[in-house]
Copies of this chain bind each other. A is one copy, B any other.
């Protein structure tokens, strides 16, 4: 019996993706990059489109609105973000990154890039660029891709 009748590929792309992501998560701990990886990603997104609505943020990051609150509470406690009421609709919150948040982000990104260098040690620079491009294109148009819908 041959379960993989025609594909002798050792592991599927999704499996490889999951495994490599596990490598990153295992190594990108808080004491290594200075904050949780999820927080770093959140701050990156807030830099990209400053003045993002909280619900848009949650949708882009693919976290439930409830989880989004907790995530922002952590960043708020650290002084990395600020929640302001939307003057146009006072139910909503506009989330902005603070100077302290930007500074912490820059430091964390530097640490993460160093880690990236270790994780992707088998790939030369042009291949890394290729990988980043493919991942970005795959994400594009996904639920949480580089969607400029945060803009007013």
Contact of A4 among B106, B115, B122, B142 (CB under 8 A): B106
Which residues does chain B contribute within 8 Å of A123, judged by CB atoms?
134, 137-138
Within 8 A of B (CB), among A103-152: 103, 105-106, 109-110, 112-113, 115-116, 119-123, 127-128, 130-132, 134-144, 146
> In the complex, A137 Cα to B20 Cα: how many Å?
10
Q: So how many copies of this chain end up in the complex?
A: 2
Stretch at the interface among A9-17, A51-59, A71-79, A87-95: A9-17
Chain A interface, >50% SS class: helix
- Extra inter-chain contacts (18) besides given A3-B47, A18-B38, A19-B41, CB under 8 Å: A3-B103, A4-B102, A4-B105, A9-B132, A10-B146, A11-B136, A12-B44, A12-B109, A12-B113, A13-B135, A16-B139, A18-B24, A20-B142, A22-B144, A23-B62, A119-B138, A122-B140, A131-B138
